Amino acid sequence: MSVELERAYVWDCPHCGQENFQRQVSAQLEPDVAHELAVAAGVIEEWQSMEEVGCSLLTYPDVVYCKRCEKQFSTTFSMSEDGPIEEDDDEDDDL
């Protein structure tokens, strides 16, 4: 018996430390819109087709939930190797 591996994002809950996984989802876009975005992102050249290169655009959710403590977090995504983007949670609100 075997299982099919799916690509996923992994994130650690800042509240309880639980390791969570979030599946990648293929973006459902009109072919010409997807092509335009891929060219703009530098993934493919203007003259190439998405099928030719075998690429598809992937999205990630704006919000994720921890599977252990069920807290909700907004997401950031970084392609760089600089590490995760730090969220500034201790800002002073003057309300």
The residue ranges that bind Zn ion (CB under 5 A) are: 13, 15-16, 18, 66, 68-69
For the CB of residue 86, give the shortest distance to Zn ion in the complex, in Å.
18
Q: Measured from the CB atom, is 15 or 58 closer to Zn ion?
A: 15
For the CB of residue 58, give the shortest distance to Zn ion in the complex, in Å.
24
For the CB of residue 11, give the shortest distance to Zn ion in the complex, in Å.
10
Q: Measured from the CB atom, is 19 or 52 closer to Zn ion?
A: 19
Q: Measured from the CB atom, is 23 or 68 closer to Zn ion?
A: 68
Q: Measured from the CB atom, is 18 or 24 closer to Zn ion?
A: 18
- Give the DSSP per-residue string, 32-87: HHHHHHHHHTTSS-TTS-HHHHT---EE--SEEE-TTT--EEE-----SSS-PPPP
For the CB of residue 72, give the shortest distance to Zn ion in the complex, in Å.
10
Structure tokens at 21: 């996984």
CB-neighbour burial class of residue 44 (10 A; exposed 0-12, middle 13-18, buried 19+): middle
Please tell me what DSSP assigns to residue 28: -
